[in-house]
Amino acid sequence: MEIYKGDKRLNYLQDHLFSISVTEFMEVHEYQRDEWIIKEGLRPDFLYYVIEGKAKIYVTHQNGKVSLINFINANDYIGEMELLNDVYYTKGIQASTKTICLALPFHRYRTQLLNDVTFLRELTKFLSVKSTHMATKYTQSLAFPLENRLADFILQTADQGIYKEKHVTVCDYLGVSYRHLLHVLNQFCDKHYLQKVGREYHIIKLDKLQELAEVLRTADVVNTRQV
Amino acid sequence: MEIYKGDKRLNYLQDHLFSISVTEFMEVHEYQRDEWIIKEGLRPDFLYYVIEGKAKIYVTHQNGKVSLINFINANDYIGEMELLNDVYYTKGIQASTKTICLALPFHRYRTQLLNDVTFLRELTKFLSVKSTHMATKYTQSLAFPLENRLADFILQTADQGIYKEKHVTVCDYLGVSYRHLLHVLNQFCDKHYLQKVGREYHIIKLDKLQELAEVLRTADVVNTRQV
DNA sequence: AAAGTAATATGAGATATCTCCTATTTTGAG
DNA sequence: CTCAAAATAGGAGATATCTCATATTACTTT
């Protein structure tokens, strides 16, 4: 992790996030791919706001299974749960690309933040979307088999008609075993919805995948991305 | 649905929820058991705050499956998603006991509410807990079989060592088929963890159920209720 | 370049969960 | 009180998903 200093730091400071002035003590942190921004179980000292990059939220269960709760992107907050709640089990946050965040040491600012309308309004919207998103994922995971959820995930993450996410990550995210994920991917290939090329999967029958994914729709709304 | 008037109404008004004064236009609504406070797919005109009673949040999927997303209790907000987001698929909210809510018609107040520190702070905390809770339920549902999740649910809802939730509701909540729920309940009876008495299930081996439920622990924190 | 670790692949068998069907009991409305 | 609808109950077979075992290939690190 690198802490930006001087001009490099100044480049990234933003002032629309808070009514109060906190820029003086705001740090700018850069994390490498795979680096842990927050370690699971260890309360962070900073409230983060992601400026660029991507990260993943993980939790480890007692039986050893690991769940990838969600992806984090630019303009998301990290550490807001610890700011708001004294009692909270801290999830692990891992950068999946180079990630640059604003980092505000919140112990000194906590009271002020909780009285800052601009900050609270933004955070409220962020949390409402996050909460809705989790509820949607939850109900979908219970109501539909992997076939539908995977089709949706492929359409969401494919770029130029090519899907090439890491299987291990996808297992943790969709909550299924590696074995089963492969099985369903193979089914898609057998049906010629996908074609495997090296380690990539090329989308052949977009309409069929869309049909499978379409079944999930009802709820969420933030699903407009096309392949 | 009954709208309280006069003194009956005044009894329920609260003033700690907002900095601004909105009591003048605040209504007090009472809903009967099974009545829909909000109908699925229809945007509500009110922001509600539950004073007493219990309710359930439902969503219907395209395949006809119904998910009980969560339970609502006193001091929860309802309709906050629609206040915050212009685009949102409205979930259905059904009272499961007589429920009394404060109801604020939000179109006229929206801007003021989004500038009200007291309100935003409370709502932020509410949403952070809600979001965490959904994330926990989501990962648990993927990481553990019904056996563990049901044991936990039984311990959470049992009263005086007696479990008597309606099977149909529990199916929607835990996201499993009626058939399978019965199957696992029967297993618990076969193992003498539970004993069926009429339509109730009496907890015989509390420790065994706790052992099954314990495996879920790691994450959430709001789980302190004992049987 | 070697060696260790992470990721990919696949088979075979187990188990968790679902669907469909049918029957009985309870509940609620008129 | 009666009837229809909702809820409970369980059999039988299908399918979605998991576990474990074993190779092979790709990436890091020394």
The per-residue pLDDT for A9 is: 96
Which nucleotides of chain D does any protein CB come within 7 A of?
6-12, 16-21
Phi, psi of B203 (to 5 degrees): -75, 120
Separation in Å, CA of B191 to nearest CA in chain A: 22
Give tens-digit pLDDT for B33-44: 889 999 999 999
Question: A181: Cβ–Cβ under 8 A, 6 or more apart, which residues?
Answer: A146, A150, A167, A170, A171, A174
- State which amino acid sits at residue A166: K
In angstroms, rounded to a whole number, what is the distance separating the alpha carbons of residues B73 and B122?
Answer: 15
Type of residue found at A149:
R
Helices vs strands, H then E, count in chain B: 8, 12
Residue A44's CB is within 10 A of a number of other CB atoms, namely 19
Strand, helix or coil at B78?
A: strand
| Strand (E) or helix (H) holding B67 | strand B66-72
CB contact under 8 A, A218 and B129: no
How far apart, in whole angstroms, are the C-alpha atoms of residue B208 and residue B129?
29
Residues A29, A1 contacting (CB under 8 angstroms): yes
Q: Residue B33 CB closer than 7 angstroms to strand D?
A: no
Full set of structural domains in chain A with CATH? 2-116 (2.60.120.10), 144-225 (1.10.10.10)
What does the pLDDT look like over B113-160, one tens digit per residue? 999 999 999 999 999 999 999 999 999 999 999 999 999 999 999 999
Q: What is the CA B178 to C1' D8 distance in angstroms?
A: 10
DSSP H helices, chain B, are 6-10, 80-84, 110-113, 117-143, 146-157, 167-174, 178-190, 206-214
CA of A5 to C1' of C3 (A): 40
Q: In this predicted structure, what is the pLDDT of residue A8?
A: 95
Q: What percent of chain B stands above pLDDT 90?
A: 86
Which nucleotides along chain C are within 7 A of a protein C-beta?
Answer: 6-12, 16-21, 26
Q: Give the separation between CA B16 and CA B35, rounded to whole angstroms.
A: 28
Name the residue among A117, A120, A218 with its Cβ closest to that of B60. Answer: A218
CA of A68 to C1' of D21 (A): 26
| Residue ranges in chain B modelled with pLDDT below 70 | 219-227
- Report how far residue A34's alpha carbon sits from residue A36's, in angstroms, rounded to the nearest whole number: 6
Residues of chain A falling short of pLDDT 70 = 219-227
